[in-house]
């Protein structure tokens, strides 16, 4: 048996400033949390109630990563990758390279970072 009286007793006393900071925070928007977890993680309401706070934090981080990924994909132009057409007036065969060497004829030349991003997409 353990002698629990030997354990150091820790009492956490909050300061008035900490209490005011806590009270001034907006309330947790559980509707938003439930929506994100249901939409992005396919969790049901009853599953969410069974989660611990660290698990809930992990799933919310995954939701945010998924949202950021969706925004990246929807904002980037994939027309050039999958057969984008050249406008009728731009049928020149000359390559115009900018001073930084990253663009040719108005299109960005893919580097290693871009290829890694594309590999993650596929």
Q: What is the pLDDT of residue 95?
A: 52
Query: Dihedrals φ, ψ of 103, to 5°?
Result: -125, 140
> pLDDT digits over 95-122, tens only?
555 556 577 766 777 777 877 777 776 6
Q: pTM of the prediction? A: 0.44
In the predicted model, is pLDDT for residue 3 greater than 70?
no
Helix (H) or strand (E) holding 107: strand 107-108
pLDDT in tens, 39-92: 888 888 889 889 998 999 899 998 888 888 888 877 776 554 555 544 544 544
Q: What is the dihedral of CA 54, 55, 57, 60, to 10 degrees?
A: 180
CA separation for the pair 118, 115 (Å, rounded): 5
Question: Which pLDDT does position 6 carry in this prediction?
Answer: 57
What's the CA gap between 16 and 121, in Å, rounded?
A: 49
């Amino acid at each position: 048996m353990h002698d629990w009286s030997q354990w150091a007793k820790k009492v956490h006393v909050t300061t008035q400033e900490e209490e005011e900071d806590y009270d001034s925070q907006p309330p947790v928007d559980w509707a938003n949390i439930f929506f994100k977890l249901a939409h992005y993680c396919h969790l049901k309401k009853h599953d969410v109630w069974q989660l611990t706070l660290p698990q809930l934090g992990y799933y919310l981080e995954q939701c945010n990563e998924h949202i950021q990924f969706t925004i990246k994909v929807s904002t980037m132009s994939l027309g050039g990758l999958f057969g984008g057409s050249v406008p009728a007036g731009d049928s020149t065969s000359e390559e115009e390279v900018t001073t930084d060497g990253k663009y040719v004829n108005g299109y960005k030349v893919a580097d290693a970072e871009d290829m890694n991003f594309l590999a993650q997409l596929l």
